[in-house]
Amino acid sequence: MTGRVLVLGGTGEARRLATALVADGVDVLTSLAGRVADPALPAGEVRVGGFGGAEGLTDWLRAHPVRAVVDATHPFAAVMTASAARAAEVTGVPLLRLQRPGWSEQPGDDWRWVGSLADAAAAVDGFSCVFLTTGRQGLGAFAGLTAHCLVRSVDAPEPPLPARTTVVLARGPFTVDEELALMREHRVDVVVTKDSGGSLTEAKLTAARELGLPVVLVRRPPLPAGVPTVATVDEALTWLRAGLDPTTSVD
């Protein structure tokens, strides 16, 4: 396969894709936002920091030609995903969106879907200990809560935070037993999560089901129109292999 591939990263899928491409001898550059102080680094080359919106990414792609871009950012990284779609449209660089499927409700679940973090804050009114697993960004939406809040994130969250907050610094994946122990220790009575999907952070949903706790799930932002989208690293590799073969073209 020929040509450099830019992977917009920050997810396990992006790291697995980079590993597979490096193993195939493909020149891979993964881009990270730089939000996490000590990120898990992918194979291949890495650049860190924003591009400066869709225009910045357009300029960057013109200055650093790549064969294709794979947007493997988190399902909730909607700004980066929109910038990638716009920059690909303007430059004509082939773009693939790699996004893992969302979670699906199982028997015994009590899931309450909401459209935003603000709606999630409203949905937990009346509960006494809210387990906030939405990440440290956007916690301001919960700042007005008077309930005890358990916040878990990789790096320390910044204010504003709910008045009665316990912070647990930890990086997943977590086992169901670990999640059960944490929820029992803090007497959690509701869990809040984004519909991130994937197995790495799924244990909290299993634990909530076992404990009979409601889960408030924030719906994903919509995918950009007109961008081919796949759900797995294998599908992304198939798309790239077809397009990176000099005898074929990518649509």
Question: In the complex, what is the shortest distance from the CB of residue 33 to ligand NAP, in angstroms, rounded to a whole number?
Answer: 4
What is the token pair recorded at 12? 């396990």
CA angle 57–41–138, rounded 5-degree value: 65
For residue 97, the cross-strand partners are 71, 229
What is the token pair recorded at 30? 């993964």
- Piece of 74-82, 112-120, 200-208, 210-218 that binds ligand NAP (CB under 6 A): 74-82
Site for ligand NAP in 80-109 (CB under 6 A): 80, 83
Would you say the C-alpha torsion 154, 32, 37, 149 has a positive or negative sign? negative
Among 20, 27, 45, 50, binds ligand NAP (CB under 6 A): 50
Asked if residue 197 binds ligand NAP (CB under 6 A), the reply is: no
Residues in the chain: 251
Asked if residue 53 binds ligand NAP (CB under 6 A), the reply is: yes
Question: In the complex, what is the shortest distance from the CB of residue 184 to ligand NAP, in angstroms, rounded to a whole number?
Answer: 26
H-only helix segments in the chain: 12-23, 53-63, 78-91, 117-123, 176-185, 203-211, 233-244
Contact between 96 and 236 under an 8 Å Cβ cutoff? The reply is yes
Q: How far apart are the first and last CA of the chain?
A: 17
Nearest CB to ligand NAP, comparing residues 83 and 165: 83
Asked if residue 154 binds ligand NAP (CB under 6 A), the reply is: no
Lookup result for tokens 């803090």: 186
Nearest CB to ligand NAP, comparing residues 179 and 189: 179
- Piece of 26-34, 160-168, 177-185, 243-251 that binds ligand NAP (CB under 6 A): 26-34
Site for ligand NAP in 118-147 (CB under 6 A): 135, 137
Residue in 106, 102, 98, 69 with CA at minimum distance from that of residue 243: 69
Nearest CB to ligand NAP, comparing residues 7 and 189: 7
Among 6, 9, 29, 131, binds ligand NAP (CB under 6 A): 9
Among 24, 41, 55, 56, binds ligand NAP (CB under 6 A): 56
Query: How many Cα atoms are found within 13 Å in the side-chain-facing hemisphere of 167?
Result: 14
Among 28, 42, 58, 73, binds ligand NAP (CB under 6 A): 73
User: Cα torsion at 173, 104, 161, 146 (round to 10°)?
Assistant: -130
Asked if residue 244 binds ligand NAP (CB under 6 A), the reply is: no
Which residues are near ligand NAP by CB under 6 A?
Answer: 8-11, 31-33, 35, 50-53, 56-57, 73-74, 76-80, 83, 135, 137, 194
